[in-house]
Chains A and B, each alone.
Chain A
């Protein structure tokens, strides 16, 4: 008699989710270290985290071809989940180079930070690898709960609390909406599996549409799509800046993953509804984000609105529910996660200078005081804007091409308007940094690790723009695989 018959449950294939397991164990090791040592050495915590994440990353890279499902089809390992997870882990490792100095300066050093980070990473990784509505719901909650706490981590600061509170309330609403949608989808098809639900062919599609709309609205709140974006600027501004960087990169990848999994499953029968709803949301989002960013005086808040605008561009690609659209969207998502993170991380370093308030005037003549930071920030901004040698140009061109291919001209033309508007605020910052004269000031000096990470990210923005094939060779088969399902 086999063991399986004896205990009557499926034995999970552990090989498929070793990376998650490693991240979870890292979290628990950090948790125990925090319990054992009364004064946790932060260098130790950071080294343990980096070692754990690197192990998970190496496992993923060396077993990139791992495929399969386990836990009764709830957990799916395919090249899509592996690709997103590689980026999430990489960005988290880079983030750890910046946190210690920032938290020391802001006097908000907490040992809890490290394992909260690993739990949210775990949630994001699970979110990237499931088709099951129930698991998506739980993983969304796992990511969000950690984000609420991380946002409120600057305990003495009022804006931090305010942002976390708004995020908590609207995030709770989002979860409620998403679960409501999941119930409707269950009524429609009698299953929680998205592949089954969307391929199910009942004559009456009203429950399917209702369920999808609620489910996507729930995700839209989490992503920060415009009619539902009210928490985002406050939470991004209030959160400690490295956490903002984390939310705008890893968080964005995680929250977009279920949307990208739905995209290839859009059927002929509700294709037009999909294009109309998602396309309209996309247009409102990037126009609103760019116009409001134009009038911001606070650079951190401006980058938050720029993050909203970029969600809009991604949604524009999502509205084209075909393989080309999906390729463009994955490339955009991964590239944006690097440049969005770089922008916020530069602010995280600059905030350590005295009298720095992230106002536009603070950036006057930054080149003369701290040339290195000015150059890195300029590369990030030009990439966010989309100037040719950087990856920003390439991804916007890809989205535009996929829109043209899908014959969505109205979205494409409005997107050009949006990008045109965004020139106003990105270039203004670059001009302020390089062309304005101002006496030299004492600006915080980045540490060696920070310097290396920023150089790495800036160079990768250029390389991905010049040699797109490096990433494209992984994205292209992934997207076609998702469409063959």
Chain B
């Protein structure tokens, strides 16, 4: 059963990745990218990392996708260069680089020992992260809220029209 879910999720992931590469309409590309993120979040959930899955959904699926969509709506598409098919020479050049970066990863996966640390609390990672964040690291958390406020004020100040 577990393999079935994993197989389904990875197939979904691969299909959506190829979608982001080969679709021509920018809105379709963004939709495929959204699908990639959902698939990755599913894989995280399947591995028991529910915090990562949640962050993936909140940060990528919500914040970054919305940002991309905003950018797409502001670009005048009739002026942008259209898709001209795959660049063959560049693709050929990319293959050795791909292999070189793939080899160490493959080596690490095959030969590496994936140690499980005993110090990690296994009571569920959202609970433990939340506990640490609101006890030990409460003060940085509060200061971070001031940073966000400052950044927002700055964006409004620099972005608004001159009176």
Over the window 1-31 of chain A, the binary record of Cβ atoms lying under 8 Å from chain B Cβ atoms (1 yes, 0 no) is 0000000111010000000000010000000
* Complex-state Cα separation, A228 to B115, whole angstroms: 38
Q: Is B147 close to A, CB under 8 A? A: yes
Q: Which residue of A74, A132, A141, A152 is within 8 Å of B158 (Cβ)?
A: A152
Q: Which residue of B lies closest to A24 (CB)?
A: B146
The distance from the CB of A155 to the nearest CB of chain B, in whole angstroms, is 7
Q: Which residue of B lies closest to A113 (CB)?
A: B157
The interface stretch among B9-17, B25-33, B43-51, B129-137 is: B129-137
* Complex-state Cα separation, A119 to B135, whole angstroms: 24
The interface stretch among A142-150, A250-258, A312-320, A423-431 is: A142-150
Q: Is A170 close to B, CB under 8 A? A: no
Q: Is A208 close to B, CB under 8 A? A: no
Chain A residues positioned under 8 Å from B157 (CB to CB): 110, 112, 149, 153
Q: Which residue of B134, B139, B149, B162 is within 8 Å of A75 (Cβ)?
A: B139
The distance from the CB of A286 to the nearest CB of chain B, in whole angstroms, is 33
* Given the contacts A9-B134, A156-B162, A146 and B150 also touching, CB distance less than 8 Å: yes
* Complex-state Cα separation, A72 to B133, whole angstroms: 12
Q: Which residue of B134, B135, B154, B162 is within 8 Å of A148 (Cβ)?
A: B154
* Complex-state Cα separation, A137 to B139, whole angstroms: 12
14 further contact pairs, Cβ within 8 A, besides A9-B135, A145-B154: A24-B146, A110-B157, A112-B153, A112-B157, A116-B154, A123-B146, A135-B140, A142-B143, A145-B150, A149-B153, A152-B154, A152-B158, A155-B158, A156-B162
Query: Contact residues of A with B, CB < 8 Å?
Result: 8-10, 12, 24, 71-72, 74-75, 110, 112, 115-116, 119-120, 122-123, 126, 132, 134-135, 137-139, 141-142, 145-146, 148-149, 152-153, 155-156
* Complex-state Cα separation, A24 to B146, whole angstroms: 9
Q: How many residues of B contact A (CB 8 A)?
A: 19
The distance from the CB of A91 to the nearest CB of chain B, in whole angstroms, is 20
Q: Which residue of B lies closest to A8 (CB)?
A: B135
CB contacts under 8 Å to A, within B71-124, are none
Q: List 26 A-B contacts (CB under 8 A).
A: A8-B135, A9-B134, A9-B135, A9-B138, A24-B146, A71-B139, A72-B138, A74-B139, A112-B153, A112-B157, A115-B153, A116-B153, A116-B154, A122-B146, A134-B137, A134-B140, A135-B139, A139-B143, A142-B150, A146-B154, A148-B154, A149-B150, A149-B157, A153-B157, A155-B158, A156-B162
Q: Which residue of A8, A112, A123 is within 8 Å of B143 (Cβ)?
A: A123
* Complex-state Cα separation, A9 to B135, whole angstroms: 6
Chain A residues positioned under 8 Å from B140 (CB to CB): 74, 132, 134-135, 137-138
Centre residue among B136, B138, B151 by max chain A CB count within 10 A: B136
Chain B residues positioned under 8 Å from A152 (CB to CB): 154, 158
The distance from the CB of A275 to the nearest CB of chain B, in whole angstroms, is 32
Q: Is B144 close to A, CB under 8 A? A: yes
Chain A residues positioned under 8 Å from B158 (CB to CB): 149, 152, 155
Chain A residues positioned under 8 Å from B162 (CB to CB): 155-156
Whether the pair A119, B150 counts as a contact (CB closer than 8 A) is yes
Chain B residues positioned under 8 Å from A149 (CB to CB): 150, 153-154, 157-158
* Complex-state Cα separation, A119 to B150, whole angstroms: 7
* Complex-state Cα separation, A436 to B143, whole angstroms: 52
Whether the pair A116, B139 counts as a contact (CB closer than 8 A) is no
Whether the pair A72, B146 counts as a contact (CB closer than 8 A) is no
Chain A residues positioned under 8 Å from B137 (CB to CB): 74, 134
Query: Contact residues of B with A, CB < 8 Å?
Result: 134-140, 143-144, 146-147, 149-151, 153-154, 157-158, 162
* Given the contacts A9-B134, A112-B157, A155-B162, A145 and B151 also touching, CB distance less than 8 Å: yes
Centre residue among A115, A122, A141 by max chain B CB count within 10 A: A141
Chain A residues positioned under 8 Å from B151 (CB to CB): 145
* Complex-state Cα separation, A8 to B147, whole angstroms: 27
* Given the contacts A112-B153, A116-B154, A155-B158, A72 and B136 also touching, CB distance less than 8 Å: yes
Chain A residues positioned under 8 Å from B150 (CB to CB): 116, 119-120, 142, 145-146, 149
* Complex-state Cα separation, A145 to B140, whole angstroms: 15
Chain B residues positioned under 8 Å from A72 (CB to CB): 135-136, 138
Q: Which residue of B143, B149, B153, B154 is within 8 Å of A138 (Cβ)?
A: B143
Q: Which residue of B lies closest to A150 (CB)?
A: B154
* Complex-state Cα separation, A67 to B63, whole angstroms: 43
Chain A residues positioned under 8 Å from B138 (CB to CB): 9, 71-72
* Complex-state Cα separation, A220 to B139, whole angstroms: 25
* Complex-state Cα separation, A71 to B142, whole angstroms: 11
Chain B residues positioned under 8 Å from A9 (CB to CB): 134-135, 138
Q: Which residue of A lies closest to B144 (CB)?
A: A138
* Complex-state Cα separation, A146 to B153, whole angstroms: 10
* Complex-state Cα separation, A71 to B134, whole angstroms: 11
Chain A residues positioned under 8 Å from B147 (CB to CB): 123, 138, 141-142, 145
* Complex-state Cα separation, A135 to B140, whole angstroms: 5
Chain B residues positioned under 8 Å from A8 (CB to CB): 135
Q: Which residue of A lies closest to B147 (CB)?
A: A142
Q: Which residue of A lies closest to B154 (CB)?
A: A149
* Complex-state Cα separation, A145 to B148, whole angstroms: 9
The distance from the CB of A276 to the nearest CB of chain B, in whole angstroms, is 32
Q: Which residue of B lies closest to A149 (CB)?
A: B154
* Complex-state Cα separation, A55 to B135, whole angstroms: 30
The distance from the CB of A112 to the nearest CB of chain B, in whole angstroms, is 5
Chain B residues positioned under 8 Å from A137 (CB to CB): 140
The distance from the CB of A335 to the nearest CB of chain B, in whole angstroms, is 29
Chain B residues positioned under 8 Å from A71 (CB to CB): 138-139
Closest 6 CB pairs of A and B: A149-B154, A71-B139, A138-B140, A112-B157, A72-B136, A9-B135
